[in-house]
Amino acid sequence: MSFDVSRREELKAKFSEFSETRDQAVRRELIEAHLGLAEYLARRFANRGEPLDDLIQVASVALLKAVDRYDPDRGVEFSTYATHTIAGELKRHFRDKGWAVRAPRRMQELYLRLGQAISALSQERGRSPTISELAQETRVSEEEVLEALEAGQAYRFASLDAPGTGPEEAEALASRLGEEDPEFTGAEHRATLSPLIAKLPHRQQLILHLRFFEGLTQSDIAARLGISQMHVSRLLARSLAQLREAAETDGLT
Amino acid sequence: MAAGDGAEEVRLSVPATPEYLRLARITGSGLASRLGFTYDEVEDLRLALDELCFALVGADGRMGTLEVRYTVTDKTIEVEGTLLGSGSAVAPSLSDLGDQILAALVDDHAVRPAGERPSIWLRKVRAG
Protein backbone atom coordinates (compact mmCIF):
# COMPACT_ATOMS: atom_id res chain seq x y z
CA MET A 1 0.00 0.00 0.00
CA SER A 2 2.64 2.49 -0.85
CA PHE A 3 2.70 5.21 -3.43
CA ASP A 4 5.73 6.35 -5.38
CA VAL A 5 7.46 9.52 -4.28
CA SER A 6 5.83 11.91 -6.72
CA ARG A 7 2.35 10.55 -5.99
CA ARG A 8 2.99 10.81 -2.29
CA GLU A 9 4.01 14.45 -2.67
CA GLU A 10 0.92 15.07 -4.74
CA LEU A 11 -1.32 13.59 -2.09
CA LYS A 12 0.45 15.56 0.59
CA ALA A 13 -0.32 18.74 -1.30
CA LYS A 14 -3.94 17.63 -1.63
CA PHE A 15 -4.18 17.07 2.10
CA SER A 16 -2.85 20.54 2.77
CA GLU A 17 -5.35 21.92 0.30
CA PHE A 18 -8.18 19.99 1.87
CA SER A 19 -7.28 21.04 5.39
CA GLU A 20 -7.58 24.67 4.27
CA THR A 21 -10.50 24.56 1.85
CA ARG A 22 -12.49 21.47 2.95
CA ASP A 23 -13.26 21.16 -0.75
CA GLN A 24 -15.53 18.16 -1.34
CA ALA A 25 -14.00 17.20 -4.67
CA VAL A 26 -10.56 17.06 -3.07
CA ARG A 27 -12.00 15.06 -0.21
CA ARG A 28 -13.45 12.54 -2.61
CA GLU A 29 -10.16 12.25 -4.41
CA LEU A 30 -8.30 11.64 -1.16
CA ILE A 31 -10.80 9.02 -0.10
CA GLU A 32 -10.62 7.23 -3.42
CA ALA A 33 -6.85 7.26 -3.38
CA HIS A 34 -6.89 5.36 -0.10
CA LEU A 35 -9.75 2.92 -0.56
CA GLY A 36 -7.15 0.30 -1.37
CA LEU A 37 -5.64 0.78 2.06
CA ALA A 38 -9.05 0.34 3.69
CA GLU A 39 -9.69 -2.85 1.78
CA TYR A 40 -6.21 -4.15 2.47
CA LEU A 41 -6.71 -3.71 6.21
CA ALA A 42 -10.20 -5.20 6.08
CA ARG A 43 -8.79 -8.31 4.42
CA ARG A 44 -6.30 -8.70 7.23
CA PHE A 45 -9.25 -9.11 9.57
CA ALA A 46 -11.09 -11.54 7.32
CA ASN A 47 -11.72 -15.18 8.19
CA ARG A 48 -12.58 -14.40 11.76
CA GLY A 49 -16.27 -15.01 11.36
CA GLU A 50 -17.34 -11.65 9.99
CA PRO A 51 -18.30 -11.23 6.32
CA LEU A 52 -15.61 -9.43 4.33
CA ASP A 53 -18.18 -6.99 2.92
CA ASP A 54 -18.97 -5.79 6.41
CA LEU A 55 -15.32 -5.40 7.24
CA ILE A 56 -14.65 -3.40 4.10
CA GLN A 57 -17.54 -1.19 4.95
CA VAL A 58 -16.32 -0.62 8.49
CA ALA A 59 -12.87 0.16 7.12
CA SER A 60 -14.25 2.55 4.50
CA VAL A 61 -16.28 4.48 7.04
CA ALA A 62 -13.15 4.70 9.21
CA LEU A 63 -11.23 5.99 6.20
CA LEU A 64 -13.73 8.82 5.74
CA LYS A 65 -13.19 9.80 9.33
CA ALA A 66 -9.44 9.62 8.97
CA VAL A 67 -9.51 11.89 5.92
CA ASP A 68 -11.74 14.37 7.71
CA ARG A 69 -9.69 14.45 10.86
CA TYR A 70 -6.18 14.23 9.54
CA ASP A 71 -4.07 17.24 10.33
CA PRO A 72 -1.11 17.41 7.93
CA ASP A 73 0.64 19.95 10.15
CA ARG A 74 1.27 17.35 12.79
CA GLY A 75 3.95 15.75 10.72
CA VAL A 76 2.48 12.24 10.74
CA GLU A 77 2.07 10.52 7.37
CA PHE A 78 -1.56 10.07 6.42
CA SER A 79 -1.10 6.36 5.78
CA THR A 80 0.21 5.90 9.31
CA TYR A 81 -2.61 7.88 10.78
CA ALA A 82 -5.25 6.14 8.65
CA THR A 83 -3.91 2.67 9.36
CA HIS A 84 -4.16 3.38 13.04
CA THR A 85 -7.71 4.72 12.75
CA ILE A 86 -8.95 1.96 10.45
CA ALA A 87 -7.38 -0.90 12.38
CA GLY A 88 -8.82 0.60 15.55
CA GLU A 89 -12.31 0.61 14.07
CA LEU A 90 -11.95 -2.95 12.82
CA LYS A 91 -10.82 -4.15 16.21
CA ARG A 92 -13.69 -2.34 17.80
CA HIS A 93 -16.07 -3.96 15.33
CA PHE A 94 -14.97 -7.36 16.56
CA ARG A 95 -14.92 -6.37 20.18
CA ASP A 96 -18.47 -4.98 19.96
CA LYS A 97 -19.68 -8.35 18.88
CA GLY A 98 -18.57 -9.23 22.40
CA TRP A 99 -20.11 -12.64 22.82
CA ALA A 100 -17.94 -14.08 20.14
CA VAL A 101 -19.28 -17.52 20.81
CA ARG A 102 -20.39 -19.48 17.84
CA ALA A 103 -23.94 -20.56 18.30
CA PRO A 104 -24.23 -24.31 18.65
CA ARG A 105 -25.22 -26.11 15.48
CA ARG A 106 -28.61 -26.99 16.95
CA MET A 107 -29.37 -23.28 17.42
CA GLN A 108 -28.30 -22.49 13.89
CA GLU A 109 -30.66 -25.13 12.56
CA LEU A 110 -33.48 -23.90 14.75
CA TYR A 111 -32.84 -20.37 13.54
CA LEU A 112 -33.22 -21.48 9.94
CA ARG A 113 -36.36 -23.45 10.71
CA LEU A 114 -37.79 -20.42 12.49
CA GLY A 115 -37.22 -18.32 9.40
CA GLN A 116 -39.37 -20.72 7.41
CA ALA A 117 -42.00 -20.95 10.15
CA ILE A 118 -42.29 -17.16 10.36
CA SER A 119 -42.91 -16.89 6.63
CA ALA A 120 -45.34 -19.81 6.53
CA LEU A 121 -47.38 -18.73 9.55
CA SER A 122 -47.50 -15.10 8.44
CA GLN A 123 -48.92 -16.17 5.13
CA GLU A 124 -51.38 -18.57 6.68
CA ARG A 125 -52.71 -16.11 9.26
CA GLY A 126 -52.21 -12.83 7.51
CA ARG A 127 -50.27 -11.46 10.48
CA SER A 128 -46.96 -11.90 12.20
CA PRO A 129 -46.98 -15.04 14.40
CA THR A 130 -46.51 -14.87 18.17
CA ILE A 131 -43.50 -16.42 19.82
CA SER A 132 -45.71 -19.11 21.31
CA GLU A 133 -47.08 -20.02 17.87
CA LEU A 134 -43.54 -20.27 16.59
CA ALA A 135 -42.64 -22.54 19.49
CA GLN A 136 -45.54 -24.84 18.69
CA GLU A 137 -44.77 -24.90 15.00
CA THR A 138 -41.10 -25.77 15.52
CA ARG A 139 -41.82 -28.00 18.52
CA VAL A 140 -39.43 -26.31 20.91
CA SER A 141 -39.95 -24.14 24.00
CA GLU A 142 -40.52 -20.39 23.80
CA GLU A 143 -37.18 -19.91 25.53
CA GLU A 144 -35.44 -21.80 22.78
CA VAL A 145 -37.18 -19.72 20.13
CA LEU A 146 -36.01 -16.54 21.82
CA GLU A 147 -32.53 -17.89 22.28
CA ALA A 148 -32.25 -18.81 18.63
CA LEU A 149 -33.58 -15.42 17.51
CA GLU A 150 -31.15 -13.65 19.79
CA ALA A 151 -28.26 -15.78 18.61
CA GLY A 152 -29.21 -15.11 15.00
CA GLN A 153 -29.45 -11.42 15.59
CA ALA A 154 -26.11 -11.39 17.31
CA TYR A 155 -24.54 -11.67 13.86
CA ARG A 156 -22.61 -14.81 14.67
CA PHE A 157 -24.02 -16.75 11.78
CA ALA A 158 -26.36 -14.14 10.45
CA SER A 159 -24.21 -13.08 7.57
CA LEU A 160 -26.34 -12.03 4.66
CA ASP A 161 -24.54 -14.60 2.63
CA ALA A 162 -25.10 -17.35 5.14
CA PRO A 163 -27.51 -20.24 4.69
CA GLY A 164 -31.02 -18.97 5.08
CA THR A 165 -30.49 -16.46 2.36
CA GLY A 166 -31.34 -18.76 -0.47
CA PRO A 167 -30.19 -17.89 -3.95
CA GLU A 168 -33.71 -17.01 -5.02
CA GLU A 169 -34.05 -14.67 -2.09
CA ALA A 170 -30.74 -13.01 -2.80
CA GLU A 171 -31.74 -12.63 -6.42
CA ALA A 172 -35.11 -11.19 -5.54
CA LEU A 173 -33.45 -8.67 -3.29
CA ALA A 174 -30.80 -7.76 -5.78
CA SER A 175 -33.26 -7.29 -8.61
CA ARG A 176 -35.72 -5.25 -6.59
CA LEU A 177 -33.09 -3.06 -5.07
CA GLY A 178 -31.46 -2.60 -8.41
CA GLU A 179 -34.47 -0.66 -9.57
CA GLU A 180 -34.28 2.84 -8.30
CA ASP A 181 -37.29 3.30 -6.11
CA PRO A 182 -38.73 6.62 -7.30
CA GLU A 183 -40.21 7.44 -3.94
CA PHE A 184 -36.98 6.80 -2.23
CA THR A 185 -34.73 8.84 -4.46
CA GLY A 186 -36.98 11.87 -4.27
CA ALA A 187 -35.06 14.89 -3.01
CA GLU A 188 -37.63 15.42 -0.32
CA HIS A 189 -36.84 12.08 1.20
CA ARG A 190 -33.17 12.35 0.75
CA ALA A 191 -33.35 15.42 2.94
CA THR A 192 -34.72 13.31 5.76
CA LEU A 193 -31.79 10.96 5.58
CA SER A 194 -28.99 11.55 7.98
CA PRO A 195 -25.56 11.74 6.34
CA LEU A 196 -24.73 8.65 8.37
CA ILE A 197 -27.49 6.69 6.65
CA ALA A 198 -26.20 7.81 3.30
CA LYS A 199 -23.01 5.86 3.99
CA LEU A 200 -24.83 2.55 4.25
CA PRO A 201 -25.36 0.20 1.31
CA HIS A 202 -28.37 1.13 -0.76
CA ARG A 203 -30.52 -1.82 0.25
CA GLN A 204 -30.01 -1.02 3.93
CA GLN A 205 -30.90 2.63 3.30
CA LEU A 206 -34.09 1.57 1.60
CA ILE A 207 -35.14 -0.72 4.42
CA LEU A 208 -34.35 1.90 7.07
CA HIS A 209 -36.33 4.41 5.09
CA LEU A 210 -39.36 2.15 4.78
CA ARG A 211 -39.34 1.19 8.45
CA PHE A 212 -38.48 4.48 10.12
CA PHE A 213 -39.67 7.15 7.72
CA GLU A 214 -42.57 5.43 5.96
CA GLY A 215 -43.68 3.48 9.00
CA LEU A 216 -44.02 0.10 7.26
CA THR A 217 -43.83 -2.92 9.57
CA GLN A 218 -41.06 -5.45 9.18
CA SER A 219 -43.55 -7.85 7.60
CA ASP A 220 -44.74 -5.18 5.15
CA ILE A 221 -41.17 -4.55 4.09
CA ALA A 222 -40.50 -8.25 3.67
CA ALA A 223 -43.56 -8.58 1.44
CA ARG A 224 -42.72 -5.48 -0.55
CA LEU A 225 -39.15 -6.53 -1.23
CA GLY A 226 -39.87 -10.22 -1.62
CA ILE A 227 -37.48 -11.28 1.14
CA SER A 228 -38.05 -13.03 4.47
CA GLN A 229 -39.05 -11.17 7.63
CA MET A 230 -36.01 -12.56 9.32
CA HIS A 231 -33.79 -11.07 6.67
CA VAL A 232 -35.45 -7.69 7.20
CA SER A 233 -34.86 -7.97 10.95
CA ARG A 234 -31.23 -8.79 10.43
CA LEU A 235 -30.68 -5.95 8.01
CA LEU A 236 -32.38 -3.49 10.33
CA ALA A 237 -30.39 -4.63 13.35
CA ARG A 238 -27.19 -4.48 11.38
CA SER A 239 -27.96 -1.04 9.96
CA LEU A 240 -28.80 0.41 13.34
CA ALA A 241 -25.64 -1.05 14.86
CA GLN A 242 -23.60 0.50 12.06
CA LEU A 243 -25.33 3.85 12.51
CA ARG A 244 -24.62 3.80 16.23
CA GLU A 245 -20.99 2.99 15.64
CA ALA A 246 -20.67 5.76 13.09
CA ALA A 247 -22.54 8.25 15.26
CA GLU A 248 -20.37 7.47 18.25
CA THR A 249 -17.15 7.96 16.36
CA ASP A 250 -18.40 11.05 14.61
CA GLY A 251 -19.37 12.51 17.94
CA LEU A 252 -22.83 13.18 16.58
CA THR A 253 -24.73 11.35 19.26
CA MET B 1 -45.82 6.40 33.83
CA ALA B 2 -46.56 3.90 36.57
CA ALA B 3 -48.20 1.02 34.87
CA GLY B 4 -50.95 0.77 37.43
CA ASP B 5 -52.73 -2.15 39.06
CA GLY B 6 -51.71 -5.64 38.21
CA ALA B 7 -48.35 -4.46 36.98
CA GLU B 8 -45.38 -6.70 37.59
CA GLU B 9 -41.86 -5.45 37.70
CA VAL B 10 -38.62 -7.12 36.70
CA ARG B 11 -35.28 -5.45 37.32
CA LEU B 12 -32.01 -6.18 35.66
CA SER B 13 -28.75 -4.72 36.94
CA VAL B 14 -25.66 -5.23 34.84
CA PRO B 15 -22.28 -3.57 34.40
CA ALA B 16 -22.75 -0.67 31.99
CA THR B 17 -20.77 -2.19 29.16
CA PRO B 18 -21.88 -3.32 25.69
CA GLU B 19 -21.21 -7.00 26.47
CA TYR B 20 -24.18 -7.09 28.82
CA LEU B 21 -26.74 -5.41 26.61
CA ARG B 22 -27.65 -8.80 25.24
CA LEU B 23 -29.18 -9.60 28.60
CA ALA B 24 -31.36 -6.51 28.40
CA ARG B 25 -32.63 -7.67 25.01
CA ILE B 26 -33.22 -11.25 26.11
CA THR B 27 -35.10 -10.18 29.22
CA GLY B 28 -37.23 -7.79 27.19
CA SER B 29 -38.04 -10.28 24.49
CA GLY B 30 -38.80 -12.96 27.09
CA LEU B 31 -41.31 -10.73 28.84
CA ALA B 32 -42.85 -9.56 25.57
CA SER B 33 -43.25 -13.14 24.47
CA ARG B 34 -45.15 -13.93 27.69
CA LEU B 35 -47.53 -11.11 26.79
CA GLY B 36 -48.22 -12.67 23.41
CA PHE B 37 -46.29 -10.17 21.31
CA THR B 38 -45.82 -11.17 17.69
CA TYR B 39 -42.48 -11.78 16.03
CA ASP B 40 -42.62 -8.32 14.42
CA GLU B 41 -43.31 -6.68 17.77
CA VAL B 42 -40.61 -8.62 19.59
CA GLU B 43 -38.05 -7.70 16.94
CA ASP B 44 -39.06 -4.04 17.14
CA LEU B 45 -38.77 -4.12 20.91
CA ARG B 46 -35.33 -5.62 20.65
CA LEU B 47 -34.14 -2.91 18.29
CA ALA B 48 -35.66 -0.31 20.61
CA LEU B 49 -33.83 -1.78 23.62
CA ASP B 50 -30.59 -1.55 21.70
CA GLU B 51 -31.22 2.14 21.04
CA LEU B 52 -32.19 2.76 24.64
CA CYS B 53 -29.14 1.02 26.05
CA PHE B 54 -26.82 2.67 23.58
CA ALA B 55 -28.07 6.09 24.58
CA LEU B 56 -27.13 5.25 28.18
CA VAL B 57 -24.01 3.19 27.79
CA GLY B 58 -22.49 4.28 24.48
CA ALA B 59 -20.33 2.06 22.33
CA ASP B 60 -17.53 1.88 24.87
CA GLY B 61 -19.50 1.41 28.05
CA ARG B 62 -19.56 3.59 31.13
CA MET B 63 -18.51 3.27 34.71
CA GLY B 64 -21.18 1.99 37.05
CA THR B 65 -24.28 -0.08 36.63
CA LEU B 66 -27.03 -0.09 34.08
CA GLU B 67 -30.37 -0.74 35.69
CA VAL B 68 -33.22 -1.73 33.43
CA ARG B 69 -36.71 -1.90 34.90
CA TYR B 70 -39.37 -3.75 33.00
CA THR B 71 -42.97 -3.24 33.97
CA VAL B 72 -45.53 -5.50 32.38
CA THR B 73 -49.30 -5.42 32.42
CA ASP B 74 -51.86 -7.26 30.35
CA LYS B 75 -50.66 -6.16 26.93
CA THR B 76 -48.07 -3.50 27.67
CA ILE B 77 -44.41 -3.55 28.44
CA GLU B 78 -42.63 -0.49 29.76
CA VAL B 79 -38.88 -0.31 30.03
CA GLU B 80 -36.87 2.27 31.90
CA GLY B 81 -33.09 2.33 31.71
CA THR B 82 -30.93 4.25 34.19
CA LEU B 83 -27.23 4.55 34.73
CA LEU B 84 -26.36 4.19 38.41
CA GLY B 85 -23.26 4.99 40.42
CA SER B 86 -21.28 6.47 37.59
CA GLY B 87 -19.90 9.25 39.75
CA SER B 88 -20.80 12.36 37.85
CA ALA B 89 -24.21 11.59 36.41
CA VAL B 90 -24.14 11.35 32.65
CA ALA B 91 -27.36 12.66 31.24
CA PRO B 92 -28.76 10.29 28.64
CA SER B 93 -29.39 11.83 25.27
CA LEU B 94 -30.94 10.70 22.04
CA SER B 95 -29.91 11.97 18.65
CA ASP B 96 -32.67 13.16 16.31
CA LEU B 97 -32.23 9.97 14.39
CA GLY B 98 -32.39 7.87 17.58
CA ASP B 99 -35.56 9.70 18.48
CA GLN B 100 -37.11 9.00 15.08
CA ILE B 101 -36.09 5.36 15.30
CA LEU B 102 -37.68 4.91 18.72
CA ALA B 103 -40.82 6.71 17.59
CA ALA B 104 -41.23 4.12 14.84
CA LEU B 105 -40.44 1.13 17.03
CA VAL B 106 -42.48 1.75 20.16
CA ASP B 107 -45.73 3.43 21.13
CA ASP B 108 -44.22 6.02 23.41
CA HIS B 109 -40.82 7.03 24.70
CA ALA B 110 -39.20 9.77 26.74
CA VAL B 111 -35.78 10.96 27.82
CA ARG B 112 -35.57 12.23 31.36
CA PRO B 113 -32.25 13.97 31.46
CA ALA B 114 -32.65 15.81 34.75
CA GLY B 115 -33.76 14.96 38.25
CA GLU B 116 -32.68 12.28 40.63
CA ARG B 117 -32.96 9.52 38.14
CA PRO B 118 -31.91 10.47 34.63
CA SER B 119 -33.35 7.78 32.44
CA ILE B 120 -34.80 6.73 29.15
CA TRP B 121 -38.20 5.20 29.11
CA LEU B 122 -40.32 3.46 26.50
CA ARG B 123 -43.63 1.71 26.21
CA LYS B 124 -44.76 -0.89 23.72
CA VAL B 125 -48.31 -2.16 23.51
CA ARG B 126 -49.37 -5.43 21.92
CA ALA B 127 -51.49 -4.73 18.87
CA GLY B 128 -53.84 -7.73 18.96
> Cα separation of A44 and A61, whole Å?
17
Nearest CA in chain B to A195: B97
- Residue-wise pLDDT tens digits, B57-73: 887 788 889 999 999 99
* For residue A92, pLDDT beyond 90: no
> Is B2-125 CATH 3.30.565.10?
yes
Edge-to-edge strands of the sheet including B108-112?
A: B8-15, B65-72, B76-84, B119-125, B108-112
pLDDT the model gives residue A186: 43
This complex has an ipTM of 0.82
Q: Helix-strand-coil percent breakdown of chain B, rounded to 5? A: 35, 30, 35
- Residue-wise pLDDT tens digits, A100-119: 445 567 887 888 899 999 99
pLDDT band at A194 (very low <50, low <70, confident <90, very high): low
Nearest CA in chain B to A97: B19
Show me where the domains of chain B are located.
2-125
> Cα separation of A99 and A188, whole Å?
40
Nearest CA in chain B to A215: B104
Per the DSSP assignment, residues forming a β-bridge with B119 are B82, B112
For residues A70-74, average pLDDT: 89
Chain A nearest-CA distance from B3, in A, is: 23
pLDDT band at B128 (very low <50, low <70, confident <90, very high): confident
pLDDT the model gives residue B27: 95
Chain A residues within 8 A of B98 when measuring between CB atoms:
253
* For residue A184, pLDDT beyond 50: no
pLDDT the model gives residue B74: 92
Cut 0.90: pTM above it? no
Chain B nearest-CA distance from A249, in A, is: 9
pLDDT the model gives residue A250: 59
- Residue-wise pLDDT tens digits, B3-58: 456 889 999 999 998 888 889 999 999 999 999 999 999 999 999 999 999 888 88
> Cα separation of A112 and A92, whole Å?
28
